[in-house]
């Protein structure tokens, strides 16, 4: 039986085209952001650069802010998978820490992009609002859901998954803020590790203390 979306099928060709178009939009947007500035770049200019309609643009991104953050849903899903697959012996925060370090390592390799996002999150009301209202809550929910699955608990009954997710988000945000303020000179992985170390003792209680 051939699965929908498998290579060589109509669905597979369509999926590859969608992925290529989405990537082309992101690349065109970042070229314009770099040369003209984020606020000076219009969606009309992005679609003209790619050769698609505005309607097609909105199939992939719901706003210009969404382009700035790329395929964050895919990134959150990957983070959740890493948390679920982490060593079963790890306590909740340690599992998130192990998974998040891979993300920090990727951010270390793409400093200009991350720095631009972070600076705009602070300086632009629309970008900052998008991050606080969409990106961060979705990140915390993805982490909490992965932890709930890992622990076999209901996050609406047991506060542990959401408490750990919220703490981890705060620690990573602190690390990124210091990193960007310092011109991204240090390794984000080092700063993230230091941030996690701050709250590690109070969050990582022995199971018997519950």
Domain ranges of the chain: 10-68, 72-201
The three-state (H, E, C) secondary structure of 56-110, written as one string: HHHHHCCCHHHHHCCCHHHHHHHHHHHHHHCCCCCCHHHHHHHHHHHHHHHHHHC
Looking at residue 4, its pLDDT comes to 38
Looking at residue 198, its pLDDT comes to 87
- Triad 34, 115, 70: Cα angle to 5°: 70
85 CB-near residues (< 8 Å, 6+ apart): none
Residue 14 Cα distances to 25, 60, 89, angstroms: 17, 14, 42
Domain 10-68 homologous superfamily, CATH = Homeodomain-like (1.10.10.60)
User: Which CATH entry fits the domain spanning 72-201: 1.10.357.10, 3.40.50.300, 3.40.50.720, 1.10.10.10?
Assistant: 1.10.357.10
Which residue stretches of the chain have pLDDT < 70? 1-11, 200-210
Q: Give per-residue pLDDT as tens, 46-101.
A: 999 999 999 999 999 999 999 999 888 999 999 999 999 999 999 999 999 999 98
What single-letter DSSP state applies at residue 42? -
Looking at residue 105, its pLDDT comes to 87
- Triad 148, 149, 155: Cα angle to 5°: 25
- Percent helix, strand, coil in the chain (nearest 5)? 75, 0, 25
Looking at residue 200, its pLDDT comes to 65
- What is the rounded distance in angstroms from the CA atom of residue 132 to the CA atom of residue 140? 11
């Amino acid at each position: 039986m051939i699965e929908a979306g498998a290579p060589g099928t109509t669905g597979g060709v369509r999926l590859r085209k969608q992925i290529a178009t989405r990537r082309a939009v992101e690349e065109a947007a970042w070229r314009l952001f770099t040369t003209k500035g984020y606020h000076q770049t219009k969606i009309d200019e992005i679609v003209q650069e790619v050769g698609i309609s505005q309607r097609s643009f909105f199939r992939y991104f719901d706003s210009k802010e969404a382009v700035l953050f790329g395929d964050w849903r895919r990134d959150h899903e990957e983070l959740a998978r890493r948390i679920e697959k982490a060593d079963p012996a790890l306590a909740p925060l340690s599992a998130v820490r192990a998974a998040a370090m891979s993300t920090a390592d990727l951010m270390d390799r793409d400093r200009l992009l991350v720095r631009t996002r972070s600076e705009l999150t602070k300086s632009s009301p629309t970008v900052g609002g998008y991050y606080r209202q969409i990106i961060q809550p979705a990140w915390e929910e993805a982490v909490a859901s992965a932890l709930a699955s890992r622990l076999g608990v209901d996050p609406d009954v047991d506060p542990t998954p959401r408490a750990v997710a919220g703490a981890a988000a705060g620690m990573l945000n602190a690390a990124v803020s210091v990193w960007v303020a310092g011109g991204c000179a240090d390794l984000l992985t080092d700063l993230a590790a230091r941030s996690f170390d701050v709250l590690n003792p109070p969050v990582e209680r022995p199971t018997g203390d519950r």
